Amino acid sequence: MIRQSFSHVRTWVFDLDNTLYPPAARLFDQIEVRMTRFVMQALGVEQDRANHLRKHYWHTYGTTLAGLMREHDVDPGPYLEEVHDITFDTLEPDPHLAALITNLPGRKIVYTNGTAPYAAQVLKARGLDAAFDALYGVEHADFAPKPERAAFEAVFSRDGVDTRAAAMFEDDIRNLSEPHAMGMRTVHVAPKAVKAEHIHHHTDDLAAFLARLT
Ligand SMILES: [Mg+2]
């Protein structure tokens, strides 16, 4: 029974983008346009080259920002501000999901490769802001992103997460690998299931999944 698999969990860790709102909101589309524009301006390249570099950075370093920092010593502050300067009108409040998260036993935190202020804006638009005890972004891991082990360690030690008694909800399967290795229960939240040893559960409906746990 699924509830049993989570009975030891005291800390519930949620990714933000495409996890706490449906991919259909297409929020990330707005961010991607800004990321590409930033790469074009910072490196003085055309759009095609910028998109190619973004893919390369994502595969090699986990995020566009990590690639820009490693290969071009880019300052993360202006980048993070610019790419997250978006509108949230495609997001709808989800009181049902808010109640389900609130009712989970223990501590609830968000950990995003965006920033904590950005996460706060998204959660507000979703009506989920009161459901969480703390928000963590890439700035809390010295700008190292998930899926890096050091990033998870930085955020989890800052919050005092006992990973043996924690669960992680994520849409990017790469970001479940280290949590699994650290002893966490892993839940892949995405339209399509992917078979991988480091994924304990899959759901295409976060609210329906959480409803089965409480
Ligand atoms: Mg995500």
In the listed set 41, 65, 83, which residue is the last one of a domain according to the structure? Answer: 83
Collapsing DSSP to helix, strand or coil, 47 comes out as helix
In the listed set 83, 107, 124, which residue is the last one of a domain according to the structure? Answer: 83
**CA 160 to centroid of ligand 1, rounded, Å:** 22
**153-210 pLDDT, tens digit each:** 999 999 999 999 999 999 999 999 999 999 999 999 999 999 999 999 999 999 999 9
Q: Is the pLDDT of residue 126 over 90?
A: yes
At 139 the pLDDT is: 97
The tally of domains found in the chain comes to 2
**CA 153 to centroid of ligand 1, rounded, Å:** 18
At 105 the pLDDT is: 97
In whole angstroms, give the CA distance from residue 189 to residue 186. Answer: 10
Residue type present at position 82: E
**CA 73 to centroid of ligand 1, rounded, Å:** 25
Distances (CA, A) of 54 to 38, 47, 207: 10, 10, 32
Statement to judge: residues 77 and 120 lie in one domain: no
Q: Is the pLDDT of residue 21 over 90?
A: yes
Using alpha carbons, select from 50, 80, 55 the residue that is nearest to residue 65.
Answer: 80
At 187 the pLDDT is: 98
Report the chain's mean pLDDT, rounded to a whole number: 97
**CA 213 to centroid of ligand 1, rounded, Å:** 22
Domain that holds residue 50: 27-83
Statement to judge: residues 12 and 44 lie in one domain: no
Q: What are phi and psi of 187, to 5 degrees?
A: -125, 120
Q: What is the CATH number of the domain that holds 76?
A: 1.10.150.450
Statement to judge: residues 15 and 34 lie in one domain: no
Q: Is the pLDDT of residue 150 over 90?
A: yes
Statement to judge: residues 14 and 54 lie in one domain: no
Statement to judge: residues 167 and 199 lie in one domain: yes
Using alpha carbons, select from 121, 164, 115 the residue that is nearest to residue 141.
Answer: 115
Q: Is the pLDDT of residue 214 over 90?
A: no
What is the value of pTM for the model shown?
Answer: 0.96
Q: Is the pLDDT of residue 80 over 90?
A: yes
**CA 19 to centroid of ligand 1, rounded, Å:** 6
Is residue 167 within 8 A of residue 185, CB to CB? The reply is yes
Statement to judge: residues 138 and 48 lie in one domain: no
Contacts of residue 214, defined as CB under 8 A and 6 or more positions apart, other chains included, come to 3, 100, 103, 104, 105
